[in-house]
Amino acid sequence: MTISNDLDYCLTQLLDFKPAKLLPEETIQSICHDLKVQLLETPNIMTISSPITLVGDIHGQFHDLLEIFKIGGSPPHTNYLFLGDYVDRGYYSIETICLLILLKLRYPNRIFLIRGNHESRTITTNYGFYSEVLNKYNGSSRVWQYITDLFDYLPLGAVIDNKIFATHGGLSPSCQILDQIRTVDRFREIPHDGIMADLVWSDPDLEIRDFKLSPRGAGYLFGAEVMNKFCHENDVVQLIRAHQLCNEGYVNYWEGKCLTVWSAPNYCYRCGNKASVLEILHTNYGKNSFQKDSVDGQIFNVFEASPENDDDTINGKSVNGNDNVDSFYKSKSVDYFL
């Protein structure tokens, strides 16, 4: 095994250096290839058992991902299911996704990754990841190519303890039963509509009962009746998803029937929000299991932005406009390759 393929060595480059060392292009090509091979055998909906900790959107906030491992425990001692949106918006999409790829390869039965709406070529072209790659790899987009090709292999959801359905966004009017997701050909760019699009784009809405087109321009809003019907038909008790910024780090809908986990504190270095990860210790639902803001066997661990972000911000605020990060990268030296 060559050094570039030595997963532990690569992990130390990202975990033991400040700033983290970027992996060379060829190493990223190689780890993306290896993970694709592994994910080819992974079904669209993974089967997972508790105890497991669920993580919502990270959006390139690498320092805050490291904070999550401090709060929630480091892999492989804690099992993690990441609910997507690893890249875009924050300054460290490459470090974030590379760390997750390495952890998945190193601990395949303890780390699980599903696809978010940002794990897409079109979205990452517009929201930061593509620019970050050009800036950090001397104008070459190859790393973006390798990683977005890998995104096509990510599964779309997970069922935990046969009772909880987890996905990035939410429900789809084209999907009454989970088997309809299981038969989707997921190895492709996220399409504009249909089950795969809805799973990564949809949001719950307390004001409606049925489905309604989403103001996001993709996916749907779904209401209480739809949620109850989905749980009943699929013999699950709960939907856990990410995808929406929550000021307190999480939101509880319909007495815990749907939970949002959001894991990017001070989102975009300017929102001032808290973040959370959700520890699922066991799944043991009695009749009155759903209480306000807590569910039996489930604990939200709330946290705030890591002080490490301060080097990149002024008083915790973004140092540049949200749309153009080029000036930020130009102000940083990128001589920290392996």
CA gap 159, 247 in Å, rounded: 27
Options 35-43, 179-187, 232-240, 242-250: segment touching Mn ion (CB under 5 A): 242-250
| Residue number, 29 or 266, with CB nearest to Mn ion | 266
The nearer residue to Mn ion, 267 or 290, going by C-beta atoms, is 267
Nearer to Mn ion, 28 or 128 (CB): 128
Q: Tell me the site size for Mn ion, rule CB under 5 A.
A: 4
Cα–Cα distance between 338 and 2 in angstroms, integer? 14
* E strand or H helix that includes residue 9: helix 7-15
Q: Are 156 and 170 in contact (CB under 8 A)?
A: no
At its nearest, how many Å lie between Mn ion and the CB of residue 168? Answer: 6
Interaction of residue 85 with Mn ion, rule CB under 5 A: yes
For CA atoms 7, 135, 201, 257, give the dihedral sign: positive
Question: Two tokens at 140?
Answer: 């070459």
118 catalytically annotated: yes
Contact between 117 and Mn ion by CB under 5 A: the answer reads yes
Nearest CB to Mn ion, comparing residues 31 and 171: 171
The verdict on 318 binding Mn ion (CB under 5 A) reads no
Q: Is the peptide bond before 19 cis (omega within 30 degrees of 0)?
A: yes
Q: Which is nearer to Mn ion, 50 or 260 (CB)?
A: 260
Stretch that binds Mn ion, among 104-112, 113-121, 130-138, 139-147 (CB under 5 A): 113-121
From the list 59, 63, 118, 243, the catalytic residue is: 118
Among 30-38, 66-74, 91-99, 237-245, the segment contacting Mn ion (CB under 5 A)? 237-245
Report if residue 243 touches Mn ion, rule: CB under 5 A.
yes
Output the DSSP codes for 144-177: HHHHHHHHTTS-SEEEETTTEEE-SS---TT-SS
Which one of 6-14, 82-90, 150-158, 278-286 is the stretch in contact with Mn ion (CB under 5 A)? 82-90
Q: Is the dihedral of CA 55, 268, 99, 197 positive or negative?
A: positive
CA 251 to chain centre: 17
Please provide residue 267's backbone torsions phi and psi, each rounded to the nearest 5 degrees. -50, 135
- Ranked by CB distance to Mn ion, the top (closest) residue is 243
Name the one residue in this structure whose structure tokens are 């972000």: 309
Helices and strands (DSSP H and E) totals, the chain: 11, 18
| Residue 64 engages Mn ion in binding (rule: CB under 5 A) | no
CB of 196 to Mn ion, least distance (A): 14
198 is a contact residue toward Mn ion (CB under 5 A): no
Active-site annotation, residues:
118
**List of residues contacting Mn ion (CB under 5 A):** 85, 116-117, 243
